[in-house]
Structure 1
Amino acid sequence: MNERRRAVVTGIGVVAPSGVGAEAHWRTVLAGQRRTGPITLFDAADYPTRLGGEVPDFDPARYTDNRVLVQTDRWTHLGFAATRLALRDAGLPERPADPYGWAVTLASSSGGNLFGQRELQRLWSSPSRTVGAYQSIAWFYAASVGQLSIAHQAKGPCGVLVAESAGGLDSLAHAVRTIRRGASVVLAGATECPLSPYALACQLRSGLLSAVDDPQRAYLPFDVSANGYLPAEGGAVFVVEEYEHARARGVRGYGEVTGWGATHDAAHATAESAGDPHQYARAMRLALGRAGVEPHEVDLVVPDALGVARYDRAEASALRAVFAGTAPPVSTHKALTGRAHQGGSALDVATVLLAFAHDTLPPSAGPQLVAEGCELDFVREPRRPRTRVGLVCARGFDGFNSALVLRGTAPAGKDKP
């Protein structure tokens, strides 16, 4: 492994409740527009949670042909779209001249929920008692990786990371390792679509979802009125490129992935669990240490922001332990979109890189009234970045903790940090 090979993000593809395309997402974040509402992908009227975040006006046929659409789930359709947008943003072709120089490393959680739901209902409700030929591949958690590697002829090392929300960050860390092992381009990130009867029932079992019917009050991380999270679909896919490869094309990119850390609580989650602040803080310190960054150098922290009081307090405690006395600016935007699991943490990475590209730290979408134990330096008004160093944090259910350090590229016409 050649640790001198650097990995830069040269393309961002966003398909999320905040919009289709990186700039649409950025406008939503900057304006603080809440994009959660009634679930329409199925009839959720009889469920305690009836709100979620859906991608507006999404037409999968714009991003792949019908032969592939009928073989795949909406979660993979979102991945097709995000990947094509990322490649276009990076100025790369749909397929490489050297297929073995391209790799795919995405994160996944629950796989093809809508496809699986439809086929299982067909199995148990129709006289034929059969499922479609593609059931065996469409629901599988690695389906998006496989389909994207085929569609874009990426024949380098491909894989899938499974760590719930933390996986979106793990995928980018693995992309750097893949670059250091010789790949030129890695497609990394994650999308998710957990909006089906079965998927919602599974999430409700945790007791962490919000049952509030007012979109303005339903998902309030770090707030005194925090009452759970709203599920969401979507996410982001990135073109992670070897630095010299990008430079040879005349591309500067959005920034560099410079550090990462992953830990585990090593304890089964219970109804009273809130995650282990010590292990969460250790993941952050590992990421900062690998990046060679001191806590006071961090410009922006984007936290996991689950919106459950005990989890929010634990996360704030971990951040205070790492940044004792330095109080970095904190901004979260999951309240605008809902929590898209691994897709949500990938979306947070997109937000940080876009913030540095636009030379603006965006205001946090709350809290309005900070809950006791959650006192952090929440960004209230747009700020200019100082160092363009960002820390993105995420936790996956049942004990996964991940953190990622990004160093943003200075906007054109400005000196690099």
Structure 2
Amino acid sequence: MTVRAVVTGIGVVAPSGIGTDAHWKCVLAGENRIGRISLFDPDRYDTTLAGEVSEFDANRYADNRRAVQTDRWTHLGFAATSLALADAGLPETAEDPYGYAVALASSSGGNLFGQRELQRLWSRPSRTVGAYQSIAWFYAASVGQISIHHQFKGPCGVLVAEAAGGLDSLAHAVRTIRRGTPVALAGGTECALSPYALACQARSGMLSVAADPDRAYRPFDVAAAGYVPGEGGAVFVVEDLDHALARGAPTIYGEVVGWGATHDARHSGRDGGDSTQYARAMCLALDRAGTQAGEVDVVYPDALGVPRYDRSEAAALRLAFGGQPPPVTTQKPLIGRAHQGGSALDVANALLSLRHGVLPPTAGLDEPAAGCELDFVRRPRPESANVAMVNARGFDGFNSSLVLRQVAAQDRDRARGERIG
């Protein structure tokens, strides 16, 4: 049999809550967790709102030595990883270190740590930075620190494609498992909330400047006017199905059955991206999953909240699904756009919707804009969904799509029987 990769653990650290239970409750209730930025004074900036992880204590998930050496982005990663391992019923430190891989995504890196150190460099007579500046900001810092902390010595790597990287990491985890490593961590966290990071995002002209959290982030809506930044994300335990069954994994959320990644290969900022290339990523994912378009029960879109990008995404969905896309839902307006952490959270939502048999409602939508008329889930919709698609676009033309499927009881029984036989 072809090696099958399933998700057996989910760790969520987001404005919606810490842990899957708190997050899922927030998502189903449609509770808006966007508020005024508290990590620094945002008064000098047009954008003053963000989705922050409140009451987060890094020392609950990492010793003080590692906490002072790393950025908040990595602290969130420590927490999400510990939660995912506990959810999967796996130990914090592996008995077989080479049987565990780490393949997380990254985008802005440790910018809060870097901001603090650069301010110290230019504001003090000593003109120095701390010893850990050289590693804490680095885009691979979370992968390195998490693999060291948990002693995971299998293949490790970092995927960098902005929001699309959160999906690419799961695809890479599946490839790693098929090459012989039974367990891999995937997903990612983000904290692009520092003065420098906010200034970089504002330069794009895509940030919302609204003052009302309930009206600030409105993807696909007639009032869409940009996205609200956010932090947090999700880490997943991705595992060889046979390995998961052999050890008696407490939960199998779903199987990663297909993925596709394309690139616009041109400057696409003015027209909202190449719908054809975006649709091609979806079609590649469906083809690799051996799934027909009509079998998809729900789509979690990128949902940037910038009108031209929203129209382009809706057009791509119609291209991929032959004019009638399946139900669409997004929860980003509740918590902000957390780059690769946001697409990882979409995967968590998709897996939880498959497990619990309910599609969460679309947030931030009153009236779809022209060109964005899709079948949006308006209230929690009981649905015995079997297949979910998650899509993401990274700035500068990255497109990724992921297809997830429930693992049927008969498949689990057959896998057990083949293993015993």
Same fold per superposition (TM over 0.5): yes
2:319 to 318, 321, 330: 321
2:215 to 205, 210, 217: 217
Residues 295 and 326 in structure 1, CA contact (< 8 A), matched pair in contact too: no
SS state at 1:64 partner:
coil
1:341 maps to what in 2? 339
Q: Which runs of 5 or more structure 1 residues have no equivalent in the other structure?
A: none
Q: Are 1:389 and 2:380 matched, yes or no? A: no
Q: Give the aligned CA root-mean-square deviation in angstroms.
A: 1.5
2:87 maps to what in 1? 89
SS state at 1:84 partner:
helix
1:49 maps to what in 2? 47
SS state at 2:382 partner:
coil
2:235 maps to what in 1? 237
Residues 261 and 284 in structure 1, CA contact (< 8 A), matched pair in contact too: yes
2:225 maps to what in 1? 227
1:247 maps to what in 2? 245
Superposed CA offset, 1:39-68 (max 9, x none):
000000110000000002111110011000
| Letter aligned with residue 54 of structure 1 | E
2:356 to 339, 358, 368: 358
Deviation at 1:191, TM superposition (A): 0.2
| Letter aligned with residue 254 of structure 2 | G
Deviation at 1:325, TM superposition (A): 4.2
TM-score normalized by structure 2? 0.96
Deviation at 1:367, TM superposition (A): 1.5
Deviation at 1:269, TM superposition (A): 4.0
Structure 1 CA distance for aligned equivalents of residues 50 and 376 of structure 2 = 24
TM-score normalized by structure 1? 0.96
2:121 to 107, 120, 123: 123
2:13 maps to what in 1? 15
Q: Are 1:259 and 2:258 matched, yes or no? A: yes
Residues 10 and 88 in structure 2, CA contact (< 8 A), matched pair in contact too: yes
Q: Are 1:277 and 2:275 matched, yes or no? A: yes
SS state at 1:117 partner:
helix
Residues 217 and 364 in structure 2, CA contact (< 8 A), matched pair in contact too: no
Structure 2 CA distance for aligned equivalents of residues 200 and 325 of structure 1 = 37
Deviation at 1:408, TM superposition (A): 2.4
1:138 maps to what in 2? 136
1:171 maps to what in 2? 169
SS state at 1:378 partner:
coil
Structure 1 CA distance for aligned equivalents of residues 318 and 15 of structure 2 = 31
Superposed CA offset, 1:48-106 (max 9, x none):
00000000211111001100000000000000000000000000000111111100000
* Range with bigger deviation, 145-154 or 361-370: 361-370
Structure 2 CA distance for aligned equivalents of residues 171 and 263 of structure 1 = 15
1:288 maps to what in 2? 286
1:404 to 402, 405, 409: 402
Structure 1 CA distance for aligned equivalents of residues 341 and 225 of structure 2 = 22
| Letter aligned with residue 131 of structure 1 | V
Structure 2 CA distance for aligned equivalents of residues 366 and 320 of structure 1 = 22
Superposed CA offset, 1:287-332 (max 9, x none):
0000011111001100000000000000000001111244301000
Structure 1 CA distance for aligned equivalents of residues 407 and 265 of structure 2 = 37
Residues 281 and 322 in structure 1, CA contact (< 8 A), matched pair in contact too: yes
Superposed CA offset, 1:241-292 (max 9, x none):
111000001225100000000000001244x231100000000000000001
Structure 2 CA distance for aligned equivalents of residues 99 and 374 of structure 1 = 48
Q: Note closer, same or farther for the CA distance 1:173–1:343 as it changes in structure 2 (3 Å cut).
A: same
Q: Are 1:99 and 2:97 matched, yes or no? A: yes
| Letter aligned with residue 212 of structure 1 | A
* Runs (4+) off by over 4 Å: none
Deviation at 1:386, TM superposition (A): 4.0
Alignment size in residue pairs: 411
SS state at 1:165 partner:
coil
Residues 358 and 384 in structure 2, CA contact (< 8 A), matched pair in contact too: no
Residues 99 and 183 in structure 2, CA contact (< 8 A), matched pair in contact too: yes
Residues 165 and 340 in structure 2, CA contact (< 8 A), matched pair in contact too: yes
Deviation at 1:363, TM superposition (A): 1.3
| Letter aligned with residue 314 of structure 2 | A
Structure 2 CA distance for aligned equivalents of residues 361 and 228 of structure 1 = 25
2:417 maps to what in 1? none
| Letter aligned with residue 234 of structure 1 | G
Superposed CA offset, 1:346-396 (max 9, x none):
000000101111111111114111100000000123223344100000000
Superposed CA offset, 1:142-175 (max 9, x none):
0000000001111010000000000000000000
Deviation at 1:230, TM superposition (A): 0.4
Superposed CA offset, 1:208-243 (max 9, x none):
000001001110000000000000000000000111
Structure 2 CA distance for aligned equivalents of residues 244 and 154 of structure 1 = 20
Deviation at 1:333, TM superposition (A): 0.4
| Letter aligned with residue 272 of structure 2 | A
| Letter aligned with residue 52 of structure 1 | A
Residues 357 and 385 in structure 2, CA contact (< 8 A), matched pair in contact too: no
Structure 2 CA distance for aligned equivalents of residues 384 and 285 of structure 1 = 27
SS state at 1:42 partner:
coil
| Letter aligned with residue 247 of structure 1 | L
Structure 2 CA distance for aligned equivalents of residues 157 and 325 of structure 1 = 41
Q: Are 1:151 and 2:149 matched, yes or no? A: yes
Structure 2 CA distance for aligned equivalents of residues 353 and 236 of structure 1 = 12
